[in-house]
Amino acid sequence: MKNTLKLTGLVAATHTPFHADGSLNAGGIDKQAEFLASQGVKFVFMTGSTGESSSMQLAERKECYLAWKEAGVKHNVGVIAHTGSNSVWDAQELAALAQECGFLATSSVAPSYFKPGSVEALVECCAKAASGAPELPYYYYDIPPLTGVSFRPTEIIKLAKERIPNFAGLKFTNPDLALYCDAMNFDKELDMPWGVDEWFLGALATGAKGAVGSSFNFAPALYQNLIKAFNEGDMEKARELQLLSVKMINILAAKGYMGCAKVVMGWHGVDLGPARLPQMNPSESTISALRSELEEIGFFNWALN
């Protein structure tokens, strides 16, 4: 299968909406899609790390797929489904549903409790996940900081091309630009969307054409303007915008990134509820400090179009 999908520009790694008690609120997905479309975001990567998929039940993830199927069509947003799980059978089952839903592609992380002990074992896990949606491009989601699974990307690519007919590339969430450069140039027909928002400018300079990011949800204009500045050769402006990204993310991360990110989305008019356990949510005093610190860097002036 030759991959014709190329993820260019911003791909928002979307949050999963929950009610105040932590239960799933799939009805909140339509508002997410509407908001992102209004901001010029054309692709979403759903139920991934930002979507708290590791804290969700299989039935809940399926409910999100069905909601994104409707919302994606309604608001003209292309959907990439993350299917990864400690159970590769669950990953395969979710991939099959993604294909039924007409999504653009599937992607999965490595199992991370019992970790694959070799590249061969990892690629077998990927092949099982990808086989559920043989008609869709498949991306391996490489995120060593969270999975603890770390193999050289070129070795993964080499074996995946042999064993996974619908292999499309890597979602590369690793700040090692040397590894990214190596992977990008190993096979230029593959797609390598970048996945570390704080290093986006470096990835663009290395050759990235698209990126999947959590902060694209609440600051899409920042990154759209960064891409524009880079493409126009205005490196001073691009560096200024990347610095704002770093400052913004540092503010959220210091207070609990996931819960704070959902608070910020609420300020944008998209109620996503709290983060789910085991992650915690900010107190009222922390929320007040969050707002103050974001105002200090001008966030509400440049985050949105």
Report the alpha-carbon distance of residue 68 to residue 83 in Å, rounded.
14
Tell me how crowded residue 214 is: count the other CB atoms within 10 A of its CB. 23
What lies within 8 Å, CB to CB, of 182 at 6+ separation is: 153, 154
| Helices assigned H by DSSP within the chain | 29-38, 58-75, 88-100, 119-130, 144-147, 153-163, 177-186, 200-206, 220-231, 235-253, 257-267, 284-296, 299-302
With left for phi above 0 and alpha for psi between -120 and 50, is residue 25 left, alpha or beta?
A: beta
Euclidean distance between CA atoms 222 and 46, whole angstroms: 21
Count of CB atoms within 10 A of residue 256's CB? 18
Structure tokens at 52: 């708290």
- Is there a contact between 106 and 83 (Cβ–Cβ < 8 Å)? yes
Torsion sign across C-alpha atoms 173, 178, 180, 183: negative
Residues with a known catalytic role: 141, 171
Q: How far from 174 is each of 34, 40, 113, 278, CA to CA, in Å?
A: 30, 26, 20, 23
